[in-house]
């Protein structure tokens, strides 16, 4: 029957330690060998390049910011909602013609003077929601401003009838 093997561990007693090799050869190093040992690692450790790079390493360019909403296609939806109001008052603007002013006296761009929001029904169940229609300072073309002004006028004319 084979005997079980025992594993030698560091915690084993002193009688199980293996004898170490004598260290008599190591202290007798000559000066020539010492200089050769020091010279060999020095060559491999630091190598100076012959020519330095002309330009510093380039940093990655930051991502460009998204373009601001400037085109009327980004501002106006195709279908205007049933109720457009001034966000500050929560009511229809009293004078729809004062909502947009021309940017230049004879130009075709108009600037919005109030923040217009529209109350819409979204989704299959027409969940009521408010969304921004035109922010303050937005510049629209004449025909787009005219669409909104016409819708505001229609709302003013139909508002007394519904109340």
Structural domains of the chain, count = 1
Contact 118, 130 (CB under 8 A): yes
What is the chain's alpha carbon radius of gyration, rounded to the nearest angstrom? 42
pLDDT value, residue 162: 47
45 within a domain of the structure (yes/no): no
Asked whether residue 94 is domain-assigned, the answer is yes
In a domain, 146, yes or no: yes
In a domain, 154, yes or no: yes
DSSP element (H, E) containing 162:
helix 142-162
The answer to whether residue 29 sits within a structural domain is: no
Q: For 5-17, what is the mean pLDDT?
A: 62
Residue pair 102/109 in contact (Cβ under 8 Å)? The answer is yes
Report the candidate in 71, 96, 101 with the shortest Cα–Cα distance to residue 156: 96
In a domain, 65, yes or no: no
Query: What does the pLDDT look like over 70-90, one tens digit per residue?
Result: 555 455 776 777 788 998 898
| Segment 18-26 long-range contacts (CB within 8 Å, at least 24 positions apart) | none
The range of the structural domain enclosing residue 129 comes to: 72-162
Confidence category of residue 119, pLDDT binned at 50, 70, 90 = confident
- Higher-pLDDT residue of 68 and 118 is 118
**Cα 32 to Cα 126: distance, rounded to the nearest angstrom:** 93
Separation CA 85–CA 94 (nearest Å): 10
Contact 58, 97 (CB under 8 A): no
Q: Would 55 be classed as within a structural domain? A: no
Domain-embedded: residue 47:
no
Strands (E) in 29-160, as ranges, are: 83-86, 100-102, 109-112, 116-122, 127-134, 139-141
Strand residue runs (E) in the chain = 83-86, 100-102, 109-112, 116-122, 127-134, 139-141
Contact 156, 92 (CB under 8 A): yes
In this predicted structure, what is the pLDDT of residue 163? Answer: 47
């Amino acid at each position: 029957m084979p005997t079980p093997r025992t594993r030698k561990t560091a915690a084993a007693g002193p009688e199980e330690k293996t004898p170490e090799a004598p260290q008599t050869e190591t202290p007798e190093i000559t000066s020539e060998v010492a200089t050769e040992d020091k010279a060999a690692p020095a060559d491999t450790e630091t190598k100076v390049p012959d020519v330095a790079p002309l330009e510093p390493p380039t940093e990655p360019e930051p991502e460009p910011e998204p373009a601001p909403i400037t085109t009327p296609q980004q501002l106006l939806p195709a279908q205007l909602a049933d109720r457009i109001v001034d966000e500050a008052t929560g009511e229809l603007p009293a004078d729809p013609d004062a909502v947009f002013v021309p940017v230049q006296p004879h130009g075709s761009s108009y600037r919005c003077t109030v923040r217009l929001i529209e109350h819409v029904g979204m989704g299959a169940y027409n969940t009521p929601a408010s969304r921004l229609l035109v922010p303050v300072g937005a510049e629209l073309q004449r025909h787009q401003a005219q669409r909104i002004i016409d819708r505001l006028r229609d709302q003013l004319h139909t508002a007394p009838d519904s109340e």
